Structure 1
């Protein structure tokens, strides 16, 4: 990484799909291996494994896709962890600019302190999400779904009562999913052990905590035969569970309530609540479907558009 106040420039010579721009205070180590099919795979630094050669390095990344057909799509992601603080500004060929400011400068210890307070309040291991260096200083913060790979028993029953309340509520009234697409509003109702939605090719069993935090397993796994209704319901339903907005006033329409209602009832994901609290502009993915929002809102921290000219990354955050 360049010294404070310095700039490094590079040009992308061609299209790039599903890439990352990594920035570190120190040296990151990447490896490659050949899988069982003879395909070379990249092994990236792990934020979770304390034995990883890069475990003591402070790093972060911006996710990036840039193609001639689709233009650019870039985002700041805290889905796996919070590390080196970064922001970005996109300039398009039209002259339009878009900015995502990211987290406040020097806020990692503050977030760790609030997670410690939350752990004391509800006896859940929120404080364990904070990773420290050899001197005991906060280095990074793991998301709960990543921490679960370290301790699979953590938070295991966290949402049990909430899920039962949701199932009881929507056995007696419709949950409306606004697909924000051609399918329009879709009515869903609990029938026995599953939530069933009109026009959907299959129902949704009760999720586990891992299903909710990962949004890609159990009822939220999307398979090839699934129809357009199912593919639209999954992200909106998982986002509602993740933000625990299904029981708040107006929560019977998803997405319906705005970001002022996210993470306001317990149990909820306090990692995401606190991280969003310290984002300078409230934007940045804290889970994979943070781009699910009522029309006109954006919690995801995305910049995008055709014919990009410059993507500026700023390291260190804003005061």
Structure 2
């Protein structure tokens, strides 16, 4: 199972930079068949003439942060500074348009970045790597077209996903070749999906077009996630209030039943609202956890008032609530999670960013918010004995 933890670490106010550390982890059981490195095939179907720069960054099994070169050799970052100091150039030349290139990736948990036309600006603080945070207008990468995939390679195999948790930008898809020669892939947009996504945001009332970021010349670079939109003021903080109020009103007089584990159908929790709090009880009637009425920030980030600790009770309930709020299924189904995508995003008040992304994916799957894996709707490939990982830079048309 893929677990995802987002932590924002502020650097000094003078630098006005934000570090985002994402950790992905898979099962810990050993599998000697997984070598120290595996090939990663990069294919450039973007149709763009810009030079591509690739970065393989992450945390090694022994806990060191660093980067890998094209041969898969890991290099630990040197000590950083305050203010942050420039990181070593970890870029790998990517394939030209219409071409492919194979590099090797080592056992890491981290990200594979790619940028068009310009190298990314990475810095090092005393606490580690400062990754791009383009929700900050002063971030040096603000006007660079780039994106990233998340991956974990360990003794149990590979987990590789496309992600839009932080932003929707340059299109790409991911894949893995299995030992039997077959390939699993995900993350590919439908024809016209890239431009169609931005058109959908522009057409959506309620301020959703404010998520779109452009260069000074008007070139579209990305759309921020709703979480960053709310945090920066690009999206109104009250954007989910009407739905939140209706949910709180409904479950003041009805029960919300949460069955968080698909393989444990008898593990159920029962939610009822009292004032500003939704209390959850177990089958014995004992209160196991409570949630204060959330806001849009908590919903889009699946954090703060919907925090999900890595436990067996509050975390799984919170994941379920987060998915229900983002997909707007809490009023149409009192039994959660609702895992049928036919029921998602039907309310006028919903996560329209996530809706627009999922509607434009070939297989309907995406990581449009942190717990989009509830019900297995995430864009993830996994294999315990991977022969090759694949990232395809897809067309913008």
- 2-structure distance, mates of 1:16, 1:257: 31
Task: Provide structure 1 residue ranges, at least 5 long, that are not aligned to the other structure.
Answer: none
Q: Secondary structure at the match of 2:135?
A: coil
Q: Secondary structure at the match of 1:203?
A: strand
Q: Which residue of 2 aligns with 1:5?
A: 98
Q: Which residue of 1 aligns with 2:377?
A: 299
Question: What displacement does 1:81 show?
Answer: 0.7
1:15 aligns with 2:107: yes
- Cα RMSD, aligned residues only: 2.1
- 2-structure distance, mates of 1:87, 1:127: 25
- 2-structure distance, mates of 1:34, 1:312: 31
Question: What displacement does 1:51 show?
Answer: 3.0
Partners of 1:93 and 1:306 within 8 A in 2: no
Q: Within 5 A, what are the aligned runs for 1:232-247?
A: 232-247=316-331
1:59 aligns with 2:59: no
Size of the alignment, in residue pairs? 298
Q: Which residue of 2 aligns with 1:27?
A: 118
1:282 aligns with 2:364: yes
Q: Secondary structure at the match of 1:116?
A: helix
1:115 aligns with 2:201: yes
Partners of 2:270 and 2:281 within 8 A in 1: yes
Partners of 1:28 and 1:45 within 8 A in 2: no
Question: What displacement does 1:317 show?
Answer: 4.1
1:265 aligns with 2:343: no
Q: Which residue of 2 aligns with 1:171?
A: 252
Q: Secondary structure at the match of 1:109?
A: helix
Q: Which of 58, 72, 76 is the matching residue for 2:158?
A: 72
**Greater RCO (CA < 8 Å, at least 6 residues apart):** 1
Question: What displacement does 1:72 show?
Answer: 1.1
Q: Within 5 A, what are the aligned runs for 1:135-214?
A: 135-151=217-233, 154-180=235-261, 181-182=263-264, 184-199=267-282, 201-214=288-301
Partners of 1:108 and 1:140 within 8 A in 2: no
Change (3 A) 1:66 1:281: same
Partners of 2:174 and 2:187 within 8 A in 1: yes
- 2-structure distance, mates of 1:50, 1:157: 23
Q: Which has the higher strand share?
A: 2
Partners of 1:104 and 1:317 within 8 A in 2: no
Normalising by the residue count of structure 2, what TM-score does the alignment of the two structures yield? 0.70
Question: What displacement does 1:106 show?
Answer: 5.5
Normalising by the residue count of structure 1, what TM-score does the alignment of the two structures yield? 0.86
Q: Secondary structure at the match of 2:185?
A: strand
- 1-structure distance, mates of 2:158, 2:176: 9
- 2-structure distance, mates of 1:138, 1:256: 35
Question: What displacement does 1:96 show?
Answer: 4.5
Between 1:105-114 and 1:306-315, the stretch displaced more is: 105-114
Moved over 6 A (4+): none
Question: What displacement does 1:105 show?
Answer: 5.3
Change (3 A) 1:291 1:85: same
Partners of 1:22 and 1:61 within 8 A in 2: yes
Question: What displacement does 1:257 show?
Answer: 5.0
Q: Secondary structure at the match of 2:347?
A: coil
Q: Which of 315, 325, 330 is the matching residue for 1:231?
A: 315
User: Residues 128-155 of structure 1, C-alpha deviation per residue, up to 9 Å, x if partnerless?
Assistant: 1111223313221111111223217x42
- 2-structure distance, mates of 1:139, 1:106: 16
- 1-structure distance, mates of 2:325, 2:209: 22
